[in-house]
């Protein structure tokens, strides 16, 4: 490695630069210290750059670079697949932990592309430490090509831990028969857009002793009795994501999953809504995500009652609560207004453990926000919609004053203009964001998002180079003073000072913006 070469790692820190010269001690860091540092990178290009630094960096970065393998279709006659590299260097296969294969790649029979499947199978057989396998297919084919991959996986010395199936068309029954022969899985995710819903029927008994994470992308049309019967075979389940299951079945499902900690489900109101038996013991959920995409025709109170059935208490356990009701705003039915009683009950039961409240477009009053901050002293993340008068912007700062541990604040603010003619400029500025972040000496707030603007604050050390100064020294004989000019050494004139910096920008991806969230859309 030549002197003076620099290594840029933007995915670790925006301004991280490692200078690789002869006097740089970082080049000789032990491998057990260097590896955790490089694991913080997220871009394969950065890991590739690390492999070029020296032997130590190469040894630490190579396992990370080949930890995940996937393919990419560049154009109709060109496919980039890592199989060619692994076949040339079989020793790299020992580092592979996750593999993603696409049916759209392996169904191709063009010249030079048809061999990709055979190469991929040979490489998969070399991945003796494989933990996760993902199969995706956005074509109309029935995923017959998946069967050879399953045959190889079943012959690996180490049982597979995670399996993801994300396809458009439902795979053929022969494919499912082969899938049902796999055991020892800890995580399963199945998303099939077309065909009959797959809910592990006939497979759950084999998976019961090990399965802890489950995602079922289509449960619509499946009788609740079948869902409950399947999930009863999975007593170790800790993480559950269900799409399309009726709300009346969710409470009964929880009664058969005593170890469940994470639940992501939809609220699909049904005519009959019955809770679990009185003697049933509900699991202590730590993370609850509720998604609703239609109005509750039985009344909005049914939604909140149903949520409380999922979180009965009396022991506090919930750490994160998320409500996604964005479709209600888009359909012109107005935002969901969360009743104060719901937040009071949530804070009363789970106030000591609750750290995140993500309500999206759901609306809270400033009084509700203040109440939430008081009842949940550990609150770190808060996201909701609220209404604020332009002339009373400080009322938001007052509402969050008691949230000492708040780190992230996301608000969709509907501004109420003070005058009949509103200005087009938002009253929320960088100075306001800085004032909120430094509202107290122990404030932890470092991220604020307001509508389509976000603000990030952090403490930084800045070095200042002082100019040669003029010092005043007392005279020994007279009472007068004399001026003496003395040049300071460079190291003496260089000082570091702590400064709080707030940056402001507009996100490039603005898909999350809601109707009525921009300034000036609400008029008096």
Q: Rounded distance, CA 59 to CA 421, Å?
A: 65
Q: Rounded distance, CA 290 to CA 282, Å?
A: 17
Task: Tell how far CA 357 is from the center of its chain.
Answer: 14
Alpha carbons within 13 A on the beta-carbon side of 376: 32
Q: Rounded distance, CA 243 to CA 197, Å?
A: 11
User: What are 136's two structure tokens?
Assistant: 């995706």
Residue 445 Cα distances to 135, 244, 385, 397, 407, angstroms:
41, 37, 18, 11, 4
What pLDDT was estimated at residue 381? 96
- Asked whether residue 25 is domain-assigned, the answer is yes
- What is the per-residue pLDDT across 293-305, written as a single tens digit (0 to 9) for each? 655 544 556 888 8
Q: Among 228, 397, 229, 248, which Cα is nearest to 309's?
A: 248
DSSP state of 346: H
Q: Rounded distance, CA 424 to CA 336, Å?
A: 26
What pLDDT was estimated at residue 141? 79
Domain end among 65, 80, 109: 65
What dihedral do alpha carbons 176, 177, 180, 182 form, nearest 10°? -100
Helix, strand, or coil here: 322? Answer: strand
What pLDDT was estimated at residue 494? 63
Number of domains present in the structure of the chain: 2
Q: Angle at Cα 503 formed by Cα 498 and Cα 507, nearest 5°?
A: 155
- Asked whether residue 19 is domain-assigned, the answer is yes
- Backbone angles phi and psi of 377, in degrees to 5: -65, -20
What pLDDT was estimated at residue 274? 55
What pLDDT was estimated at residue 103? 86
Q: Among 292, 274, 277, 289, which Cα is nearest to 240's?
A: 289
- What is the per-residue pLDDT across 371-421, written as a single tens digit (0 to 9) for each? 999 999 999 999 999 999 988 889 999 999 999 999 999 999 998 887 655
DSSP string for residues in 445-474: --EEEETTEEEEEEEEEEEEEPPPPEEEEE
Helix (H) or strand (E) holding 137: strand 132-137
What pLDDT was estimated at residue 434? 93
Task: Tell how far CA 308 is from the center of its chain.
Answer: 25
What pLDDT was estimated at residue 450? 93
Q: Rounded distance, CA 458 to CA 181, Å?
A: 52
Alpha helix ranges (H) inside 334-476: 340-350, 366-375, 394-399, 430-437
Q: Among 397, 395, 329, which Cα is nearest to 363's?
A: 329
Q: What is the pTM of this model?
A: 0.81
Q: Rounded distance, CA 288 to CA 462, Å?
A: 42
Tell me whether the omega of the peptide bond preceding residue 314 falls within 30 degrees of 0, making it cis.
Answer: yes
Q: Angle at Cα 352 formed by Cα 381 and Cα 346, nearest 5°?
A: 75
Q: Rounded distance, CA 454 to CA 275, Å?
A: 42
Q: Among 133, 135, 123, 122, which Cα is nearest to 97's?
A: 133
By the 8 A CB rule, do 165 and 180 touch? no
- Asked whether residue 57 is domain-assigned, the answer is yes
Which regions of the chain are under pLDDT 70?
A: 1-28, 74, 76-77, 108-114, 270-280, 293-301, 326-334, 419-425, 464-494, 506-524
Question: What residues make up the domain containing 42?
Answer: 1-65
What pLDDT was estimated at residue 471? 43
- Asked whether residue 96 is domain-assigned, the answer is no
- Asked whether residue 497 is domain-assigned, the answer is yes
What pLDDT was estimated at residue 481? 43
Helix (H) or strand (E) holding 48: helix 44-51
**Hey, how many other C-beta atoms are within 10 angstroms of the C-beta on 270?**
13
- Backbone angles phi and psi of 436, in degrees to 5: -70, -40
What are the DSSP E strand ranges found in 227-284?
239-242, 262-266
Helix (H) or strand (E) holding 483: strand 481-485
What pLDDT was estimated at residue 33? 87
- Asked whether residue 242 is domain-assigned, the answer is no
- Asked whether residue 477 is domain-assigned, the answer is yes
What pLDDT was estimated at residue 93? 96
Residue 148 Cα distances to 96, 163, 280, 296, 422, angstroms:
19, 15, 44, 46, 65
The structure tokens 């400064």 sit at 499
User: What are 33's two structure tokens?
Assistant: 């210290």
Domain end among 49, 65, 81: 65
- Asked whether residue 56 is domain-assigned, the answer is yes
Helix (H) or strand (E) holding 147: helix 146-154
């Amino acid at each position: 490695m030549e002197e003076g070469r620099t290594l840029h790692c933007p995915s670790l820190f925006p301004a991280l630069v490692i200078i690789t010269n002869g006097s740089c001690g970082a080049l000789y860091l032990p491998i057990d210290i260097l590896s955790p540092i490089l694991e913080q990178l997220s871009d394969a290009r950065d890991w590739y750059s690390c492999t070029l630094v020296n032997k130590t960096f190469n040894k630490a970065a190579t396992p990370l670079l080949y930890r995940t393998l996937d393919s990419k279709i560049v154009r109709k006659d060109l496919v980039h697949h890592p199989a060619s590299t692994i076949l040339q260097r079989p020793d790299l296969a020992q580092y592979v932990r996750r593999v993603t294969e696409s049916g759209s790649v392996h169904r191709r029979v063009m010249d030079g592309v048809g061999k990709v499947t055979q190469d991929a199978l040979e490489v998969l057989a070399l991945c003796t430490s494989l933990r996760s396998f993902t199969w995706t297919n956005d074509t109309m084919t029935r995923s017959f090509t998946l069967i050879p991959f399953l045959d190889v996986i079943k012959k690996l010395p180490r049982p597979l831990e995670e399996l993801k199936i994300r396809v458009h068309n439902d795979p053929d029954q022969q494919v499912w028969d082969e899938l049902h022969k796999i055991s020892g899985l800890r995580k399963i995710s199945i998303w099939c857009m077309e065909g009959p819903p797959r809910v592990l029927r006939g497979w759950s008994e084999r998976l019961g002793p090990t399965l802890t994470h489950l995602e079922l992308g289509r449960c619509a049309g499946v009788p609740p009795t079948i869902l409950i019967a399947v999930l009863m075979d999975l007593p170790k389940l800790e993480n559950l994501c269900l799409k399309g299951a009726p709300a009346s079945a969710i409470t009964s499902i929880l009664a058969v999953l005593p170890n469940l900690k994470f639940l992501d489900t939809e609220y699909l109101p049904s005519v009959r809504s019955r809770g679990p038996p009185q003697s049933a013991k509900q699991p202590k959920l730590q993370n609850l995500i509720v998604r609703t995409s239609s109005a509750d025709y039985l009344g909005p109170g049914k939604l909140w009652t149903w949520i409380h059935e999922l979180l009965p208490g009396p022991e506090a356990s919930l750490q994160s609560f998320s409500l996604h009701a964005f479709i209600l705003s888009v359909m012109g039915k107005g935002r969901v207004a969360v009743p104060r009683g719901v937040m009071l009950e949530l804070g009363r039961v789970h106030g000591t453990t609750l750290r995140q409240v993500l309500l999206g477009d759901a609306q809270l009053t400033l009084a509700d926000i203040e109440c939430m901050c008081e009842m949940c002293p550990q609150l770190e993340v808060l996201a909701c919609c609220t209404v604020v008068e332009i002339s009373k912007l400080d009322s938001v700062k007052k509402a969050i004053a008691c949230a000492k541990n708040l780190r992230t604040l996301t608000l969709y603010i509907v501004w109420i203009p003070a005058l009949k003619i509103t200005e087009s400029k938002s009253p929320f500025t960088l100075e306001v964001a800085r004032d909120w972040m430094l509202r107290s000496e122990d404030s932890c707030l470092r991220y604020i998002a307001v509508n389509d603007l976000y603000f990030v604050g952090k403490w930084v050390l800045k070095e200042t180079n002082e100019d040669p100064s003029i010092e005043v020294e007392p005279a020994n004989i007279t009472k007068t003073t004399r001026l003496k000019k003395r040049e300071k050494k460079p190291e003496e004139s260089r000082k570091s000072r702590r400064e709080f910096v707030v940056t402001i920008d507009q996100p490039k991806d603005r898909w999350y913006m809601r109707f009525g969230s921009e300034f000036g859309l609400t008029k008096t």
